[in-house]
Amino acid sequence: MIKFKKHPNNPILKPHPTNCWENLAVCNPGVWYENGKFTMLYRAAGDDEQHYIRMGLAESNDGVNFERVSDEPAFGPSVDGPDQGGVEDPRIVKFGDEYYVTYAFRPHYPGQYWKFAHDVILLPETGEHSPEVLKENIANSGLAVTKDFKNWRRLGRVTQTNLDDRDVILFPEKINGKYWMLHRPKQWVGNGFGTNEPAIWIQSTDDLMVWNGPSKLLMTGRPGTWEEKIGGSTPPLKTEEGWLLIYHGVANGGTGYYRVGVALLDLEDPTKVIARCENFVMEPEYDYELEGFYKGCVFPTGNAIVDGTLYVYYGGADKYIGLATYDVKELLDYLKNC
């Protein structure tokens, strides 16, 4: 059993006390590494009653010490679009010279969810003819494109309308001429789906906005373990042994601690899981992971491999951002022996 090594400077990013849009929480960052620079797009929220969620931008030369680029959000809810309730949990890949960012959104703000019962959020006032996605304030996933993390094109929803389908993650390159996506439709459970708890599904397409082909169940949780309910965490990383997949797991029907697992997918056919370890590699241990708006949560959303070291960026307790690292060769050897 191995454990990722948490950085002694954690949390590496905290809420900013004088920026009203991020004075309550910063967490769940997407991260991209290129040409010696780490770019972080992070989830942020202020102490407003509606709990609008936005994204801030920070940069670093060493992957540890990040400086905010601006006192203003880099990306936020639209004024009158389907994501006007909040945007969160970005995952970043790059095709050509453009960054493609998947993110979760709602049509209406959620409210301060930690004050409600589990999985309860605020609902808008609607009429009898309002669609379910609005009546139930269902979370969806969208795709946005940028070249500089300042100017954006919102391309819209990439998941089915009335599914709570978050944790949508793109592979960073085409495989056999197709784009690939991991996702976690919350309602795909029970008879006919092959899983009793939300799980990780995989899908391919010829067009990044047309995911209408069959989706295959990739990995399910394990009843009675730390990972009864699972979902994707960070964009898969290409290694010599396979696609390195970092994912999250939750016990107790989705109300327990969030922990982190690892698996390997086949390089040519990512629908094949070629290795998966039963033990978690990260769990909540420190105050910044145990005391926040979700008590007991480590939730990775960004990663990179730099000079043979895996960098994993994660949200702690829905309030802070942490960094964990591990030697890639040692991790792959461990996975091959699982």
Phi and psi angles of residue 311, each rounded to the nearest 5 degrees, phi first: -105, 125
Number of independent structural domains in the chain: 1
Q: Does residue 3 form part of some domain?
A: no
Give the pLDDT confidence of 18-72 residue by residue, as tens digits. 999 999 999 999 999 999 999 999 999 999 999 999 999 999 999 999 999 999 9
Q: Do the domain assignments include residue 9?
A: no
Q: Which pTM does this prediction carry?
A: 0.98
Residue 253, pLDDT score: 78
Closest CA to 188 of 160, 150, 148: 160
Q: Look at residue 4 and tell me if it is in a domain.
A: no
CATH of the domain at 313: 2.115.10.20
Domain that holds residue 294: 21-336
Q: Judge whether 313 lies within some domain.
A: yes
Tell me if 188 is assigned to some domain: yes
Q: One-letter amino acid identity for 254?
A: G
Residue 46's pLDDT is what?
98
List the beta bridge partners of residue 92: 101
Instruction: Look at the alpha carbons of 165, 310, 39, 70 in this order and tell me if their dihedral is positive or negative.
Output: positive
Rounded Cα distance between 302 and 281, Å, is 16
Query: Which regions of the chain are under pLDDT 70?
Result: none
As a whole number of angstroms, the distance between CA 49 and CA 31 comes to 29
**Structural domain includes residue 11:** no
Q: 297 lies in a domain?
A: yes
Distance of CA 337 to the CA centre of its chain: 27
**Whether the Cβ atoms of residue 89 and residue 301 lie closer than 8 Å to each other:** yes
Query: What span, in angstroms and rounded, lies between the C-alpha atoms of 237 and 321?
Result: 21
The answer to whether 289 touches 296, Cβ cutoff 8 Å, is yes
> Could you tell me if residue 102 is inside a domain?
yes
CB atoms within 10 A of CB 240: 8
Residues 6+ positions from 192 with CB-CB distance below 8 Å? none
